[in-house]
Structure 1
């Protein structure tokens, strides 16, 4: 018999796609930090050029920015985060076109999971119309692609940032050892 236990929290992750980031970032950053906590990692711009899927909506050239957040994310809190980022996308849209695409998720020692509003065979329902997408797994010291991993997430440059975030996460786990920081077992 397995005994249910609460998992360790994950490291909150966010991918921002935008062709107009410099215009919106001063106002968007505090909104993101209100939802997800203080940003503790921010990548340099990564050209988003493996697909033209977002070109007509976001404009060009599109760049990806990868962020992580200091506050631990309970794994069952991912749907709420996605709903919050969806509200930001909608609030900032002009004439039905978003200024940015926000893809929240979490990094753990074993995986990168993204939140999405779209069902597919490998996605697991969370709540409130939000699904969890197992995007990458970490095995034998490296990120491993899955058959459904989007090509941009399979790129070495993105994986380099994910590895840095994973390392930060592993370091933060060392500080979750005091009894006040650990989840209380339920009887």
Structure 2
């Protein structure tokens, strides 16, 4: 028989897509920090070239930036976090279109799970209309994509940043366990 155990915290991961960074970046980052904690990882601008899914709404060329935050968060907060990011997207609408797409998730030593409001065969319902998308798993020393992983998340340019974030997260977990 299995015995329920509350998991440790995860690393809040946020991907932002936009073609108009100059219109919001200076104001959005403090708003994110106010809600989620201080930014402790910020990627360079990464061109989104694997899909044109967002082009009509966000314009072109689209660049992604990845952010993570400190402190670590309890895994059951993912629906709440997604609802906050949805609200921020709504607050920043221009001509009924989003200026940016906020893609929150939680990174653990084993996986990257993104939050979404869309159901699909491999997604697990969490709460409040939010689903968990198991996007990548970490096994045999590296990030491995799954049959449903979006091509941009399966790319080496994203996995490189995820390796760095995971290493930092592991150190944060070790430090937290030493202080207990």
RMSD across aligned positions (CA): 0.8
What CA distance in whole angstroms lies between the structure 2 residues aligned with 1:143 and 1:22?
Answer: 32
What CA distance in whole angstroms lies between the structure 2 residues aligned with 1:171 and 1:21?
Answer: 31
What CA distance in whole angstroms lies between the structure 1 residues aligned with 2:35 and 2:110?
Answer: 24
DSSP 3-state at the match of 1:68 = strand
1:183 corresponds to which residue? none
CA-CA distance at 1:176 after TM superposition:
1.7
CA-CA distance at 1:95 after TM superposition:
1.7
What CA distance in whole angstroms lies between the structure 1 residues aligned with 2:54 and 2:61?
Answer: 10
Work out the number of aligned pairs and report it: 179
What CA distance in whole angstroms lies between the structure 2 residues aligned with 1:82 and 1:147?
Answer: 24
What CA distance in whole angstroms lies between the structure 1 residues aligned with 2:118 and 2:35?
Answer: 22
CA-CA distance at 1:23 after TM superposition:
2.3
Deviations 1:25-62 (A, max 9, x none): 11100111122211000000000011111111111110
Greater shift after overlay, 151-160 or 30-39?
Answer: 30-39
2:101 corresponds to which residue? 101
What CA distance in whole angstroms lies between the structure 1 residues aligned with 2:30 and 2:60?
Answer: 25
Segments of 4+ moved more than 3 angstroms? none
Unaligned runs of 5+ in 1: 180-187
Deviations 1:80-131 (A, max 9, x none): 0000000000010012100000000011100000000000011011100000
What CA distance in whole angstroms lies between the structure 2 residues aligned with 1:125 and 1:45?
Answer: 31
CA-CA distance at 1:22 after TM superposition:
2.4
2:41 corresponds to which residue? 41
What CA distance in whole angstroms lies between the structure 1 residues aligned with 2:158 and 2:76?
Answer: 25
What CA distance in whole angstroms lies between the structure 2 residues aligned with 1:10 and 1:91?
Answer: 27
What CA distance in whole angstroms lies between the structure 2 residues aligned with 1:7 and 1:75?
Answer: 8
The 5-angstrom pairing of residues 112-127 of structure 1 reads 112-127=112-127
TM-score of the aligned structures, taking structure 1 as reference length = 0.94
What CA distance in whole angstroms lies between the structure 1 residues aligned with 2:34 and 2:119?
Answer: 28
1:128 corresponds to which residue? 128
CA-CA distance at 1:70 after TM superposition:
1.2
DSSP 3-state at the match of 1:56 = helix
1:58 corresponds to which residue? 58
What CA distance in whole angstroms lies between the structure 1 residues aligned with 2:34 and 2:128?
Answer: 21
